[in-house]
Chain A
Amino acid sequence: MLRLEKRPTPSQFWLYATPVVAVLLTMIVGGMLFAAMGKDPFAVIRTIFWDPLFGGMSGYLRGQLIVKAGPLILIAIGLALGFRAGIWNIGAEGQYIMGAISGAAVGLYFHSMEGFWIFPLMVLAGALGGWAWGMIPALLKTKFNTNEILVSLMLVYVAESILAMAATGFLRDPDGMGFPGSKNFRNYPSAHNADLIAGSGLHWGGLAALIGAMIVAAILLWHVLGFQIRLAGQAPRAARFHGVNPSKLVVLCMGISGGLAGLAGVFEVTGPAAQITINFNVGYGFTAIIVAFLGRLNPIGIVLAGFLMALTYVGGEMASTQLGLPTAAVQVFQGMLLFFLLAVDVLTNYRVRVGSGAVKVGG
């Protein structure tokens, strides 16, 4: 018989081994899934995990990894702060969209003007847009004690509707012959978020993600705010005893994660996407939740997890074009990663004992 027994202190080994084991299990079970679909599992796994890094097209694909990892990391570090405090912002996708719309709107307002200040202003507007969208569930929670999970999630669908309105209405390109979508920022140098080194895939967003991860890591390790966030998540009553105001913390964490998601949105809409379209959002806000947990809610871990998740995106696309794998199968594969992670995570706090663990009763 297998039994779980609580460890006196969380295992440091399993804290770090968990993501690795989860990735391996995902590869094994995912491979079985692919085999059941009639594909060669080894070819699929190699296409997803190896080819983007070292395959024939890796020169281009490595850049794509950075393009995809950037927003994931930027959103995930914000979410991790909240998750550590027990504040569950599930609506980063909506905050990402609102950031993109706000930033793009500012850029389109100044369209035809040139100036070094236009892009920074757009970035600021994007962060504010995401922050404001995050404030809605935060204030509803602190004033009316609503559940931030539900409210933030529902606001994603509101944001998607606003996005559709923007693309077909108030931000539509007037010279676009009636097609949905805004003007393209690629043709507007003052607002374009181009690669910092041409062809590298690294734009301002990628840089912001790396700097953001370092700042968040420093806050969690050395700053009172980081201590209060961790304390509130682990022992809410002890946090109040310490002197944390729970409402302030909710507003702060939702604001930071919303603002960072908004930043990711504005960097995306001015860079790789280059315009507002109906299906501008591709689920970064949701995938970032997986990235945050895969990275142990630790900024450095999140950077690694962001790249791993980007790999499954880029590699998954390769697998679907080259091997005819359905896109849904790749999404199942990503979802599996989160499930295995959460399952294996039990080992951090519990150890498995074989047998009943006690001497049998004699006499």
Chain B
Amino acid sequence: MTELLAVKGVTKAYPGVVANSDVSFSISEGEVHALLGENGAGKSTLVKMIYGLVRPDSGSMTLRGQAYRPGKPAEARRLGVAMVFQHFSLFEALDVAENVALGMENPPPLRELSARIRAVSEEYGLPLDPTRMVGDLSAGERQRVEIIRCLLQDPKLLIMDEPTSVLTPQEVEILFKTLRQLSAEGTAILYISHKLEEIRALCDEATILRRGKVVATCTPRDRTAREMAELMVGAAFTPPERRAGEKGAVALGVSGLSVDSPIPFGTSLKDVSFTVAKGEVLGIAGVAGNGQDELLLALSGELKVAADRVRIDGQPMGDQGPVARRKVGLVAAPEDRYGHAAAPDMSLIENAFLTAGVRKGLTNRWGFINWAKTRAFAEEVIAEYDVRTPGPGVAARALSGGNLQKFLMGRELNQAPSVIVINQPTWGVDAAAAAQIRQAILDRAASGAAVVVISQDLDELLEVSDSFAALNGGRLSKPRTVEGLTMDEIGLMMGGAHGMEVAHHAE
């Protein structure tokens, strides 16, 4: 196969961090090439340089033998490089065809464009009605809009940044079929992910980045996921260990919980019911935006509901705020770390007080804060959860995402809670730290806490959960025990392939 893109010794530094250091690799025509690495390994910076969003400090690139130095994405697209981002740039109040037209330099008349969208979606098994409002589409369908927008430009190289994080297992299968078809037609695909099984299923070659450097290249099919994980992390690592805890009485009971979303374009919860016993971990899966944030708000007490909808240790607590719920033993950890779970400009000491004030007795009866005791608690969390920071006095925003997450997890888990609710416990956290956080969650469950883990990472949920349910459009499926659950069943619980009934009908 002929070489399409070659990257030679590319370096890019940001103040305080070298994102890419002397990175070289190449992609042939029709090759599916994986870019593998932990968060912060430099994958995003590298593809942004290829797509013309960022200029390298040094090094060079060639595309089909010609020097390639895109100054802006439009230039990259003109030369046949297209990219589907992890976060979509779509207007919800416009229809599919209008959104596609907005991303084109010289869009044809809408009627003609709609016909072309139909043709391309038919050809690649990505059904999409050009007249539908984007606001009504599921995440998987929105991704199809982005992919078709790229395909209309007839790209030679398609870059996909973590495309499966918003898809159900069925939708992933359909996406892979499309990508294989593209590759068979000679389009090269640069596939960014840290999901190793996916890469083994899809990719021909893999370049593994660690701390901005290429540390290995391999053929994913010939390696085990474990081997690749160790190349990524740079060390052998042990998966968390389960200790079978005693299941006790029901600690958290939710029944008939319906609540309107306070978030614009959010998903309202509809008749959500489940119970979690002492020592049990309930995993709640779901594609992003199906009610996860709302469920966390309703459980933490930020959204109040009728008293008997949420029971903690048998007490009706639905109409109580976060402080009262903490008092009876419920701690919660929201997904968004910078601004929701933590105040970015406040110190770790102040952030420790943010939720731990009630349970750790950090105020006196007149409401004055015992800062010395608060600092001691912050230091305890920092030491126990291996948080890398110069000290407890630094602002939360100065910590990396993974480090801050370790601190915030420790802050909640070290309050001796009886009920724990966590949304995305390891989002953006490196593999070693993620394993550590999961272990800490399991330890809490083993010592009798009831745990709800909401996550989009199915592997994570299967690793920590005793029972499993999925959110789909604000409804929660009936919880089931994890044992014997197949990927197919999980996919159906998550809503199957949203609107994919006619996909790949030709086969």
Tell me whether A and B are bound partners: yes
**CB-CB contacts of A245-279 with B at 8 A, as 1s and 0s?**
10000000000000000000000000000000000
Q: B322 within 8 Å of A by Cβ?
A: yes
Chain B residues with Cβ below 8 Å from A114 are: none
Q: B346 within 8 Å of A by Cβ?
A: yes
A9 touching B398, Cβ below 8 Å: yes
CA–CA, A9 to B348, complex, Å?
Answer: 12
B340 touching A361, Cβ below 8 Å: no
Chain A residues with Cβ below 8 Å from B369 are: 222-224, 227
A358 touching B57, Cβ below 8 Å: yes
A235 touching B58, Cβ below 8 Å: no
Q: Give the contacts of A274-305 with B (CB-CB under 8 A).
A: none
Q: B184 within 8 Å of A by Cβ?
A: no
Interface pairs A-B: 10 shortest CB-CB: A243-B323, A235-B343, A243-B322, A9-B395, A8-B398, A224-B367, A359-B57, A237-B340, A238-B343, A362-B58
Q: Give the contacts of B468-492 with A (CB-CB under 8 A).
A: none
Chain B residues with Cβ below 8 Å from A234 are: 343-346
Q: A120 within 8 Å of B by Cβ?
A: no
B346 touching A361, Cβ below 8 Å: no
Chain B residues with Cβ below 8 Å from A360 are: 57
B328 to chain A, nearest CB (A): 13
Q: A357 within 8 Å of B by Cβ?
A: yes
B478 to chain A, nearest CB (A): 30
A363 touching B58, Cβ below 8 Å: yes
Q: A84 within 8 Å of B by Cβ?
A: no
CA–CA, A359 to B12, complex, Å?
Answer: 9
Given A222-B369, A242-B354, A358-B57: A10 touches B302 (CB 8 Å cut-off): no
Q: Give the contacts of A313-363 with B (CB-CB under 8 A).
A: 357-363
Chain A residues with Cβ below 8 Å from B395 are: 8-10
CA–CA, A241 to B325, complex, Å?
Answer: 11
Q: A24 within 8 Å of B by Cβ?
A: no
**CB-CB contacts of B200-221 with A at 8 A, as 1s and 0s?**
0000000000000000000000
Q: B56 within 8 Å of A by Cβ?
A: yes
Given A9-B395, A242-B354, A242-B355: A237 touches B339 (CB 8 Å cut-off): yes
Q: B104 within 8 Å of A by Cβ?
A: no
A interface residues, Cβ below 8 angstroms from B: 5, 8-10, 222-225, 227, 230-231, 234-235, 237-243, 245, 357-363
CA–CA, A313 to B303, complex, Å?
Answer: 50
Q: Give the contacts of B14-57 with A (CB-CB under 8 A).
A: 15-16, 55-57
Given A358-B13, A363-B60: A227 touches B350 (CB 8 Å cut-off): yes
Chain B residues with Cβ below 8 Å from A242 are: 322, 354-355
Given A361-B55, A361-B58: A10 touches B354 (CB 8 Å cut-off): no
B498 to chain A, nearest CB (A): 29
18 interchain pairs (CB within 8 A)?
Answer: A8-B397, A9-B394, A9-B395, A10-B345, A223-B368, A223-B369, A227-B369, A231-B346, A231-B350, A234-B343, A235-B344, A235-B345, A241-B332, A243-B301, A243-B321, A358-B57, A359-B57, A361-B69
B367 touching A223, Cβ below 8 Å: yes
Among candidates B15, B336, B343, residue contacting A5 with C-beta atoms closer than 8 Å: B15
Among candidates A5, A222, A241, A361, residue contacting B354 with C-beta atoms closer than 8 Å: A241
A238 touching B363, Cβ below 8 Å: no
A222 touching B371, Cβ below 8 Å: yes
Q: Closest chain B residue to A9 by CB distance?
A: B395
Q: Closest chain B residue to A363 by CB distance?
A: B60
B487 to chain A, nearest CB (A): 34
A220 to chain B, nearest CB (A): 11
**CB-CB contacts of B366-394 with A at 8 A, as 1s and 0s?**
01110100000000000000000000001
Q: B124 within 8 Å of A by Cβ?
A: no
CA–CA, A362 to B341, complex, Å?
Answer: 43
Chain B residues with Cβ below 8 Å from A5 are: 15
Q: B330 within 8 Å of A by Cβ?
A: no
A14 to chain B, nearest CB (A): 14
CA–CA, A40 to B167, complex, Å?
Answer: 73
CA–CA, A362 to B323, complex, Å?
Answer: 58
CA–CA, A265 to B312, complex, Å?
Answer: 51
B367 to chain A, nearest CB (A): 4
A241 touching B334, Cβ below 8 Å: yes
A337 to chain B, nearest CB (A): 26
A228 to chain B, nearest CB (A): 10
A359 touching B13, Cβ below 8 Å: yes
Given A231-B346, A235-B339: A9 touches B397 (CB 8 Å cut-off): yes
Q: B353 within 8 Å of A by Cβ?
A: yes
Q: B342 within 8 Å of A by Cβ?
A: yes
B62 to chain A, nearest CB (A): 11
CA–CA, A54 to B58, complex, Å?
Answer: 62
A238 touching B345, Cβ below 8 Å: no
A231 touching B367, Cβ below 8 Å: no
Q: Closest chain B residue to A353 by CB distance?
A: B15
Q: B405 within 8 Å of A by Cβ?
A: no
CA–CA, A359 to B20, complex, Å?
Answer: 14
Chain A residues with Cβ below 8 Å from B367 are: 223-225
Q: B357 within 8 Å of A by Cβ?
A: yes
Chain A residues with Cβ below 8 Å from B322 are: 240-243
Q: Closest chain A residue to B326 by CB distance?
A: A243
Chain B residues with Cβ below 8 Å from A223 are: 367-369
A238 touching B339, Cβ below 8 Å: yes
Q: B164 within 8 Å of A by Cβ?
A: no
Q: Closest chain A residue to B345 by CB distance?
A: A234
Q: Closest chain A residue to B332 by CB distance?
A: A241
A231 touching B354, Cβ below 8 Å: yes
Among candidates A8, A9, A240, A359, residue contacting B58 with C-beta atoms closer than 8 Å: A359
Among candidates B15, B58, B345, B353, residue contacting A357 with C-beta atoms closer than 8 Å: B15
A363 to chain B, nearest CB (A): 5
Chain B residues with Cβ below 8 Å from A362 are: 58
CA–CA, A352 to B150, complex, Å?
Answer: 39
Chain A residues with Cβ below 8 Å from B56 are: 361
